Structure formats: structure tokens, C-alpha cells
Amino acid sequence: MIEQDVRDRILAEPEVILEDRDLMKALIAANERAMGGNIVDLRGIAMERLEGKLDRLEDTHRSVIAAAYENLAGTNQVHRAILQMLDPTSFEEFLVGLSRDVAQTLRLDCVRLVLESVQNAEAPALRKLGDGLYVAEPGFIAEYLAAGKTVAPRPVTLRQTLAASDMLYGEQAGVVRSEALMRLDLGAGRLPGMLVMGSADPHHFKPTQGTDLLAFFAAVFERTMRRWLS
């Protein structure tokens, strides 16, 4: 027999039982046992299927919410990094902030600007700009992006690092395992540039990821570089 106080509460608030999924399952199971094994409860089967659909819907709902929060966090990071990128008043400060402040904001292990130039990379005017700049010979960017493959150029390339990455990352070559490569159009009459983002996580940048935020960041960076080069 049910205790009287429990019975009175159930009668007063029957929706408490209806909203408790585990309790409803126990009641349905008890009802099936009472009917015997030679009776098929179609209503119970339908409820089980609906519960399965509800579980999948809830999982999808949680995944969508998690993805939305992740995208929002990523957008906020990119916006903060862009504001930091616009603060410097000299090109030297710009490169230092890029490899330090911007990299920290985006939670990256390396951010580097690659410029093609016919000038010797060891020239004093280039060496004083620090590790945030990598000067390469003309044609290096297209070759590095293609990685030996015949593919159409893309604005943003996401991949794991290659053997050829060592010379690009220098002392951090042993750390960086995945990279985002953004080709830069620096204006008419100028050789192309490339913005490189590197992460120690080999899965931080993958070809299957979306590139909208990185493309936006690269577009702002491109316009900022044109200002410095003008």
C-alpha cells in the first residue's frame, strides 16, 4: 500500500509523475509486466520511439548551442585582436604586437607576417623588424601554399605543418603543428604577402573548419598593411 501522504501528494499534483521520465518508464514497465508477455503494447513502443527522437533532438539542441557559443567566443577574440592590431603607431610596434599581443588574444603559439622581396633578408633594415617578419624570395608564398600540389589558390588555407615549415617558424618549428595561411594582396605593383598563424595543437586548424572569421581578419590586416606600405 502507498503511504497516505505520498498518495495525497500524487493526487494533488499528478503532473509531478508525468514530468519525471524515469518514474514514467518504471510505471510503463510495470504495466507491461501486468499485461503479460503475449500482449504487444503499441502505445509503449510508440513512446519509446518518441523518447529516442526526443533524446536525439536534445543532443542536437545542445550541440547547436555549444557551436553558437564557440562561434561567439571566436568572433569576440578576432574583434579584440583587430583592435590591438590597429593601436600601434609604427611598423615595428605593429609587428611586435602581432607576434605577442595578437597571438595571445587568439591563443596561438605563433603569428608571423611573410613578405616577398628582392632585398636580402639579412639587410639591417629588415633584421631590426624582429621575428614577427619573415622575408622570402619572390614566388615563395605560392610555392608554400601549394605544397607541391596543383591546386587553385584559396584566400585561407588550414592544414597541419609540413617539413618545409621549419624555415618559416624558426625556433618555434618544433612547437607549431597546425597552421592557418592567409594570402595577402598588398596592392598593385607589390609582391604578395602572407599572414601565418601557428598552433601547437595539431587539430587547431583543420581543412574542414570554416574560414569566415579568418578571412575577415585577413581582410582587415591586408588593408592595414597597405597603410603601412603607402
Q: Give the tens place of pLDDT for each residue, 171-201.
A: 888 889 999 999 999 888 888 899 999 999 9
Per residue in 51-74, is it b (16+ CB within 10 Å) or e — as a string? Answer: eeeeeeeeeeeeeeeeeeeeeeee
- Cell (9 digits) for 80: 579584440
Q: How far apart are CA 47 and CA 25, in angstroms?
A: 10
Least confident of 89-93, 127-131, 157-161: 127-131
Confidence of residue 120 (pLDDT cuts 50, 70, 90): low
Contact at 8 Å (CB) between 95 and 130?
yes
More confident residue, 223 or 118: 223
List the CATH code of the domain at 90-229: 3.30.450.40
How many other C-beta atoms are found inside a 10 Å radius of the C-beta of residue 43?
10
Is the pLDDT confidence value at 215 over 50? yes
3-state helix, strand, coil in the chain (%, to 5): 55, 15, 30
* Per-residue pLDDT at 53: 81
Confidence of residue 124 (pLDDT cuts 50, 70, 90): very low
**Angle in degrees, CA 85, 98, 193, rounded to 5:** 95
pLDDT digits (tens, 9 = 90+) for 95-108: 888 888 999 999 99
pTM, to two decimals: 0.68
What mean pLDDT comes out for the span 16-23?
A: 78
Q: How far apart are CA 102 and CA 83, in angstroms?
A: 9
How many other C-beta atoms are found inside a 10 Å radius of the C-beta of residue 14?
10
User: SS3 for 72?
Assistant: helix
Q: How far apart are CA 68 and CA 37, in angstroms?
A: 47
Q: Domain boundaries in the chain?
A: 90-229
Is the pLDDT confidence value at 75 over 70? yes
* Per-residue pLDDT at 40: 57
How many other C-beta atoms are found inside a 10 Å radius of the C-beta of residue 105?
20
